[in-house]
């Protein structure tokens, strides 16, 4: 849909548009940004059903299973055991998103309330993988833990901080 020369905003951590709050976040974000957007979605069929593909490109971002016994499985397990980091495993599991990120891409995490539930270490690993590719990420956080929405920004050269900024 877009060429490599286009400035594109990558929207990620989207669970699907059957949750109409998530659909509204995508629609309003694309409308406000006014740039070309690519949506990485866990449920692209929902996004197509609700017409999101008419306002931005929709790419599947499923959480893939790393097949036991493969080189990817072995290297990710060794990496986790040796470093304590799950980043390599997450790179393989979320390759639909991470493999497409280019240097200096802007990536906007729009699944804000995802940070209110268990599994934030996986979300943090996705963000670190984007940073390793020299992408820039912005996370729109909201939900029970963060009653008023705010934006948490990390530039490629910055180290993530814990807590609210």
Mean pLDDT of 111-132: 81
Distance CA 124, CA 56 (A): 25
Mean pLDDT of 111-133: 82
* Residue 17 pLDDT > 70: yes
Mean pLDDT rounded to a whole number for the chain: 80
What pLDDT sits at residue 116?
A: 72
Own/partner contacts of 4-8, CB < 8 Å, gap of 24 or more, are: 4/102, 6/36, 7/35, 7/36, 8/35, 8/36, 8/37, 8/38, 8/105
**CA distances in angstroms from 112 to 66, 76, 109, 147, 150, listed in the order given:** 26, 27, 7, 11, 9
* Residue 148 pLDDT > 60: no
Distance CA 14, CA 47 (A): 10
* Residue 64 pLDDT > 50: yes
Pull the structure tokens for residue 28.
């309003």
What pLDDT sits at residue 3?
A: 54
Pull the structure tokens for residue 110.
């729009």
Q: Report which of residues 103 and 80 the model is more confident about.
A: 80
What pLDDT sits at residue 97?
A: 92
* Residue 154 pLDDT > 60: no
pTM of the model as a whole: 0.77
């Amino acid at each position: 849909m877009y060429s490599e020369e286009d400035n594109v905003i990558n929207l990620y951590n989207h669970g699907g548009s059957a949750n109409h709050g998530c659909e509204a976040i995508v629609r309003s974000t694309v409308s406000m940004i006014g740039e070309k957007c690519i949506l990485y979605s866990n449920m692209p069929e929902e996004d197509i059903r609700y017409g999101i593909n008419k306002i931005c490109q929709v790419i599947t971002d499923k959480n893939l299973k790393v097949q036991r016994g493969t080189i990817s499985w072995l290297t990710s397990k060794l990496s986790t055991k040796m470093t304590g980091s799950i980043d390599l495993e997450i790179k393989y599991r979320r390759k639909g998103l991470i493999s497409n990120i280019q240097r200096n891409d802007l990536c906007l995490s729009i699944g804000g309330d995802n940070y209110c539930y268990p599994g934030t270490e996986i979300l943090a690993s996705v963000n670190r993988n984007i940073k390793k590719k020299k992408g820039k990420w912005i996370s729109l956080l909201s939900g029970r833990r963060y009653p008023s929405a705010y934006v948490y920004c990390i530039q490629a050269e910055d180290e993530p901080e814990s807590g609210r900024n």
